[in-house]
Structure 1
Amino acid sequence: MQDTTAAATDTKLQRVLDWIERTGNKLPDPAMIFFFSLLIVWALSWLLSSMSFGEIDPRTGEAIVVHNQLTGSSLATFLANMVKTFTGFAPLGVVLVAMLGVGVAEHSGFINTGIKKILDRTPQFLLTPIVILVAIVSHTASDAGYVLVIPLAGVIYYAMGRHPLAGITAAFAGVSGGFSANFVPSAIDPLLQSFTQSAAQILDPAIQINPLNNYFFTSASSVLVILVGWYLNDKIIEPRLQKMVVDGDPEDIPKFAEVTGKEQSALRWALFAMAVGIGLLVASVWSESSALRSPNGELASYSAPLMQSIVPLIFLLFLIPGVVYGYLAGTFKNSRDVINAMTKSMDGMSYYIVMAFFCALFISAFNTSNIGALLAVKGADTLRELALPASVTVVGMILLTGFVNLFVGSASAKWALIGPILVPMLMQLGISPDLTQAAYRIGDSSSNIITPLMPYFPLVVVYAQRYVKGTGIGTLISIMLPYALTLLVCWTAFLLIYWSIGLPLGIQSSYTYGG
């Protein structure tokens, strides 16, 4: 009877998962979603421009008026400013500059060797938490977690006599499920911040958001993700995996490649160069008269050049050790190789640039039409009438984000799409953009590992098939579902507790917005 019930449950779950996959596959590409959204904004601006609204614009104190974007003058201005709108799109420069430095560190082999060295020296009883930790840190190197940490974890688990799929899924949980948990600043921090700031400026044009406005929370969250993943993997997931026989072809199972002596030496000098760079930075800001401090001597102030230099510092933090490692390890022979590494990193960003073009046009039209302000004020009024506690509103946003993430996988694309609505709406309720962004990151990360539409999901299936031939999308989702649900519940509870205690979310951050 229990087997029949379990089979029926599995069948229902599979139908739900199949529906999610079919529905998601029918959605247009994110770039096209922004293009269609632009057309919708134009159409709505034409329809709403003739209507009067009682809502008051908090920026001007006057009634909100929707501006028609289909008039001759509006379309002429749109075309005349198109290039400026694109090149002035804040997230574009943020991501590209950071990835230039990360690309050098990645393609030189510095990041890969560092990850191998950490995992190679890990005792078996600490293997899972270290794998998840390394997976979390790998976010700083774009795709390194997916192309290196996940398959390498399977190799190491297999070499230690443990089930290789346990290693693969633990690393996947850290890389993708813990995407927004990291104690090392990375390009994702200023990327999301730039979208958040653009959205907040719909209501408050003068507002400035610090690039590290969630840093303390994401750092603390890395501990939560490690502990949750460690317990689930070793106590629940791996015991269940024992019934899955490793039947992959021996020739297809990758072997663990030891770090050579030359690579070890290069890694030591690269880390030394990184430490020297960090030391010089600390020394340069130590004095209260430092040029990197704000005029009143503060370091954390947004007006401080240090805070405005977060992205260039990320660039240098990875560029310098990447170059040192490359020359000493032999992966770089001359300056052309360094430039080629930067070029390769930009090759991987080509799609993002295309998406950013349409996103920039959509956000510009959304802001200019005043539809964003109208939605924010009306939505805030509705929520205010419901009189829901702020914590309930934030939890609802997390669940909404997690659901949307099943269909729109890109963190930046999704936030660019819903941020201009949610951020100003919650600001009207007194909830700060910093808290809204932190809530978004939880919903975005937790459901990454159960959506087949996540670009790297099929790749993880391939990694698993090297060991267990019958592994499919449904198999991987069923393994990762406990991670996703547990992370969603525990991480949400963690934010609420963190918030109730009043711990800082990040640098220059707050929980409330006072207008």
Structure 2
Amino acid sequence: MKSGEKKGFVNRFLNTIEKAGNRLPDPIVLFIILMGIILAGSFIAGSLGLKAKNPATGEVIEAVNLLSGEGLVKILTESISNFSSFPPLGMVLVVMIGIGIAEKSGYFETAMKRVIEVAPQKVILPVIIFVGIIGNVAGDAGPVILPPIAAMVMWKLGYHPFSGLIMAYAATVGAFSANILLGMADALAAGFTESGAQLIDPDYTANIAMNYYFIAASAILLMFIIYFVTKKVTIPRLGTYQGAWMDNEPLDETKVKALRWANISALVTAGFFLVLVIPENGLLRNPETNSILNESPFMDSIVFIITILFFVPGLVYGLRAKTIKSSKDFGGMLSDAMSTMGSYIVLVFFAAQMLAYFEWSNLGPILAIKGANFLQAMDVSGIPLIIGFILLAGLINLLIGSASAKWAILAPVFVPMFMFMGYDPAFTQMLYRIGDSFSNPITPVLPYLPLLLAFAKKYDENVKLGTLISNLLPYSIVLFVVWTLFIIVWFVLGLPLGPGGPIYLSN
């Protein structure tokens, strides 16, 4: 059956999105244009005296004209610090050290090929997706590490490597609020929820597990949903890959033995870190609370730990398989890996300036508050309120990438409002987290979209943002529909969202 017979409308729609997106300027130029738009917007908003009241502090937030003398000085003097302090930059470059040696030594290729040789094909894709979903407990590492690995897997399976990049990115950022593990995201959300609820009930106490039942169930559900979109939309749409294929010959015994030693070294390394984490007085636990996740050395060092977990087996494999025969080989592999990040580094410079201008101008918080006030004025409840709030959070997510920053603004408005309507803060928090997640794959303010483009250019130098966004859009649409329906069913049944997290306030 031809794809056009059954999916003609879908393909035509996505082709339109792709063509429109590909007409956009190069991402570097696009960020420069956005910088200009923000500067112009700050001038207009500042001249008109646009402002909004922050419900969290009562402070009036006023738009700042960045084209004033003071603004221009700030732009000129802080451009370097904007770039150097851009959070994902250091993380990406450090992680690429580990990924680079694992990739260039042949460890990734051999490991993926071995998995494909011994594992049923039907299991591989769901496993990758599930790893992406639960990987958000490690913070920002997921969208950096998993997409290039998934691309290699799909390549080996005979699919277009873009399908792996798209699928893994959608899993790591689109299902960000689904997990079977509790992490920093839960703690951050609960903290702002508690503050918002205490505006009405000073004795209210939130806990990080109050959404756990729902997010754990969501992790399983969304694994199947993302798998379904990948199989029915992404893979057929991308078709076959015309680039040079990897060697499909069976692995020889030398590579199999090298892989075995590399995997053993990975387990030993992981065991070393577990020894520092598992005991009650573990060195990497929070020294005051003994927590593993909250303000602990473990979470503070998670990116470097992941780097080591890739670096060690990559090095061991290279030494055993003789792909690393000298220090020059070792240094060359690391240099080659880092050289692929050149375009991303340039993108980061302009992306960092754009996001800094948006923050300095106060346009983001003002737009978020205005949008929240608009929904509050609609005076709706029940299912329409659920859908409206999720959509609002998703739209705001297109403007402000930080989940905690958005919730810091929205929680003091919507948590009290929902409490007056009889809903528990845990329910409001979960609605926000769904809205904050489903639009992540297509939001331009996440710094990982340019990184995804950098990964994609390894397989096709001519790929543009339109191709990525058009293939990510189906995930955002389906995630919104399915996840919203899921919370509505949960709502109708009146099931608790987690321990201490009912839907309705108790009388």
**Which of 53, 58, 61 is 1:61 aligned to?**
58
**Which of 422, 425, 429 is 2:414 aligned to?**
429
**Which of 135, 151, 154 is 1:150 aligned to?**
154
**1:374 counterpart residue number:** 366
In the superposition, the TM-score normalised over structure 2's length comes to 0.67
1:374-428: CA deviation from partner (whole Å, max 9, x where unpaired): 2122121112112456632454258759xx9xxxxxxxxx776697996565444
**2:35 counterpart residue number:** 38
Aligned-pair distance for 1:221?
A: 5.9
SS state of the match for residue 258, structure 1?
coil
The answer as to whether partners of 2:175 and 2:437 remain within 8 angstroms in 1 is no
**Which of 95, 100, 110 is 2:107 aligned to?**
110
**2:375 counterpart residue number:** 383
Q: Does 1:345 align with 2:328?
A: no
The answer as to whether partners of 2:394 and 2:439 remain within 8 angstroms in 1 is yes
SS state of the match for residue 49, structure 1?
helix
**Distance in 1 separating the partners of 2:400 and 2:320:** 41
**Distance in 2 separating the partners of 1:496 and 1:340:** 54
Aligned-pair distance for 1:83?
A: 0.8
**Which of 280, 303, 307 is 1:311 aligned to?**
303
SS state of the match for residue 116, structure 1?
helix
The answer as to whether partners of 1:45 and 1:66 remain within 8 angstroms in 2 is yes
Bigger drift between 359-368 and 40-49 goes to: 40-49
Residue identity opposite 2:86 in structure 1:
F
**1:464 counterpart residue number:** none
Aligned-pair distance for 1:308?
A: 0.8
1:121-167: CA deviation from partner (whole Å, max 9, x where unpaired): 124xxx22324424765973542322x2223213xxxxxxxxxx7x9
Q: Structure 1 residues 35, 216: closer, same or farther in 2, change over 3 A? A: farther
The answer as to whether partners of 1:102 and 1:141 remain within 8 angstroms in 2 is no
Q: Structure 1 residues 356, 227: closer, same or farther in 2, change over 3 A? A: same
Aligned-pair distance for 1:248?
A: 12
1:59-80: CA deviation from partner (whole Å, max 9, x where unpaired): 6533222222112232122211
**Distance in 2 separating the partners of 1:293 and 1:226:** 31
Aligned-pair distance for 1:497?
A: 6.8
The answer as to whether partners of 2:46 and 2:62 remain within 8 angstroms in 1 is yes
**Distance in 2 separating the partners of 1:337 and 1:113:** 18
Q: Structure 1 residues 415, 65: closer, same or farther in 2, change over 3 A? A: closer
**2:257 counterpart residue number:** 265
Aligned-pair distance for 1:343?
A: 2.2
**2:208 counterpart residue number:** none
**1:83 counterpart residue number:** 80
Q: Does 1:392 align with 2:365?
A: no
**Distance in 2 separating the partners of 1:341 and 1:483:** 35
Q: Structure 1 residues 378, 440: closer, same or farther in 2, change over 3 A? A: closer
Which 5+ residue runs of structure 2 have no aligned equivalent? 133-142, 177-182, 197-210, 416-424, 445-451, 461-465
Residue identity opposite 1:93 in structure 2:
G
Residue identity opposite 1:322 in structure 2:
G
**Which of 133, 137, 146 is 2:127 aligned to?**
133
Bigger drift between 253-262 and 481-490 goes to: 481-490
**Distance in 1 separating the partners of 2:261 and 2:212:** 28
**Distance in 1 separating the partners of 2:38 and 2:221:** 40
**2:422 counterpart residue number:** none
Q: Structure 1 residues 497, 35: closer, same or farther in 2, change over 3 A? A: farther
Which 5+ residue runs of structure 1 have no aligned equivalent? 155-164, 184-189, 205-213, 405-413, 449-453, 462-472
Q: Structure 1 residues 376, 230: closer, same or farther in 2, change over 3 A? A: closer
Aligned-pair distance for 1:50?
A: 3.5
Equivalences for residues 438-457 of structure 1 within 5 A: 439-445=435-441
Equivalences for residues 223-372 of structure 1 within 5 A: 223-224=220-221, 227-228=224-225, 256-372=248-364
Q: Structure 1 residues 181, 335: closer, same or farther in 2, change over 3 A? A: farther
Aligned-pair distance for 1:265?
A: 0.9
Q: Structure 1 residues 304, 173: closer, same or farther in 2, change over 3 A? A: closer
The answer as to whether partners of 2:175 and 2:438 remain within 8 angstroms in 1 is no
**2:199 counterpart residue number:** none
**Distance in 2 separating the partners of 1:226 and 1:179:** 11
Aligned-pair distance for 1:230?
A: 6.6
Kindly, what percent of the aligned residue pairs are identical? Answer: 27
**Distance in 2 separating the partners of 1:215 and 1:343:** 43
**Distance in 2 separating the partners of 1:95 and 1:372:** 26
Aligned-pair distance for 1:460?
A: 9.2
**2:448 counterpart residue number:** none
**2:17 counterpart residue number:** 20
The answer as to whether partners of 1:105 and 1:322 remain within 8 angstroms in 2 is yes
Residue identity opposite 1:153 in structure 2:
L
1:87-114: CA deviation from partner (whole Å, max 9, x where unpaired): 0111211221122211211221212211
Residue identity opposite 2:308 in structure 1:
L
Residue identity opposite 2:156 in structure 1:
L
Bigger drift between 135-144 and 62-71 goes to: 135-144
Aligned-pair distance for 1:16?
A: 3.2
Aligned residues: 434
Q: Structure 1 residues 117, 434: closer, same or farther in 2, change over 3 A? A: farther
**2:67 counterpart residue number:** 70
The answer as to whether partners of 2:162 and 2:456 remain within 8 angstroms in 1 is no
**2:138 counterpart residue number:** none
Q: Structure 1 residues 262, 349: closer, same or farther in 2, change over 3 A? A: same
In the superposition, the TM-score normalised over structure 1's length comes to 0.66
Q: Structure 1 residues 396, 20: closer, same or farther in 2, change over 3 A? A: same
**Distance in 2 separating the partners of 1:362 and 1:295:** 38
Q: Structure 1 residues 13, 271: closer, same or farther in 2, change over 3 A? A: closer
Residue identity opposite 1:149 in structure 2:
V
**Distance in 2 separating the partners of 1:217 and 1:334:** 52
The answer as to whether partners of 1:394 and 1:439 remain within 8 angstroms in 2 is yes
